[in-house]
Every structure is written in C-alpha cells, then in structure tokens.
Homo-oligomer: A and B are copies of this chain.
Amino acid sequence: MEDELYRPIFSKLSRSVPMTAEERSALRALPIQPRLFPRRTEILRQGESPSQSCVLVRGHLCRRKQLPNGRRQILSFHFPGDIPDLQCLHLPELDHSLHSLEESLVGFIPHKSILQVMREFPRIADALWRQMLLDACIFREWIANMGGRAGYERIAHLLCEQTIRSQALGIDGRYPLFFNQQDLAEASGMSPVQVNRIIQSLKSDGLFSTEGQFYQTPDWNGLLRAAEFDAAYLNLETPRTPERNA
C-alpha cells in the first residue's frame, strides 16, 4: 500500500531527528512515484541530470563509478530508507551510476518538491543535511579502509558495515546476502579471485557463513575484532545489542 512507500524514509529520518505530526504529514504529502526494478538493473546513469531524487523502499542498491581503464568501482551499498541521490540535488550531472542489486522498489520525488519542503520545514532540511553527512562519513571510512587495511581486514570491515546497517533495520541473526563476491571485489578494489580466497579464510576462521540467500556471523565479536571495526562512523544512535548470537 501507500504506507509501504513512506515507512522506510520515515523511520530513517526520524531516527536522526524526531518529527512532529506536522512534519510527518508534510513528508507524506510529497509526491512519490514508485517504480519496481528487476535485480541488477541500472536506475540512474553516470552523466545524467535527473530532476528527481529517489528513495529506496525495498531491496538493495549500489552506487558505482565506471573508470576509463574499464574497471568499475562500487562506492556504496544502500538499504531501504536511503536517499542515494540527495548527492545530486544541487549538482549539474551525476558522477556515478545507481544500480539495483536485487529486485528493488524505488520511489521518485521531484527535486522541486523536496526543496520546497526543506524551505518550509527547516528541521526536515536539517535531517536531510544530516543524511548527506552520514553518507560522507561512510565515504571517508571507505577511503581509510581501502588505503589502510590489508585484504582480509578490508573485507571483514565491509561485512561488518553491511551487517550493522541490516541490524539498524531490525534484522537480526540472518542477514540478506544482497552482494556476491564480484560485488565485494568491486567495492574493495581487489580481484574476485582474491576476494574468494579471503571469504574462504573468513569462513574457516568461523567469522562468516552463508546459507542460501542469507549470511550469518557465527562470531560477531571476532569479526569486529578482525575488521578493527568501530561503528562510531555510522552514527547510529540505536547502539546494537552486541550479541544476539546462537
């Protein structure tokens, strides 16, 4: 129903700034045009100048950059409630593309409507600003991850991040395996072969396991330790209860 369209963005925004009834209804008045994308589909193309922003309702997306040398780099993964292209609200053209990783439901909102709501409700503007900052925090952490950690730790770190972000959505124990090893390779800047070997080590070290379209973290604290993971950069004030565990 229509509720499904607004719930993810509501809960994401109000996680950073509690909202009044008035603000909620202003958000709900935003015209959102839903569109369903099959898995592994291009949603926005590098170089485009969209006049709408989009919010992810269901599924998982990634942002990706195409390099002239033929390599592709994944810049971020996205979960329901994310607004991946707040990034281009004031920029002339998109410096990256947006793809679905699974079948995903995406809602489009005209820039004009967003700007209008921001003008009228400064707290909503603040909340959106804050979302952008959180995005940038993750970018910075990725830079540090790629520049400062060796393969094993780097992959572990990626897995920690995705796991925590799933947890923030209330998922626990079994997490959706929305990425494959090729994706991890493109996200970490390593070859698929190397990623495969690292994943195997992680599994045999008891830090990671898969089962169908889900993965688990049999030793969550061990994984955190291996990754040197400090969740502070995600700024999720919903601090996770550390051990759901088996």
Contact = CB atoms under 8 A, between A and B. Distances in A.
Contacts of A228: 67-69
Contact of A235 (B92, B136, B137): B92
A112 interface: yes
Q: Give the number of times this chain occurs in the complex, counting copies.
A: 2
Interface bracket on A: 35 or more
Contact of A146 (B135, B147, B232): B147
A184 to B, nearest CB: 12
Contact of A147 (B49, B73, B148, B230): B73
Interface string A54-68: 000000000101011
A121 to B, nearest CB: 12
Contacts of A68: 228, 230
Contacts of A51: 242-243
Interface of A: 49, 51, 63, 65, 67-69, 71-73, 75, 87-93, 95-96, 111-112, 115-116, 119, 122, 125-126, 129-130, 132-137, 139-144, 146-149, 153, 186-189, 228, 230, 232-233, 235, 238, 240-244, 246
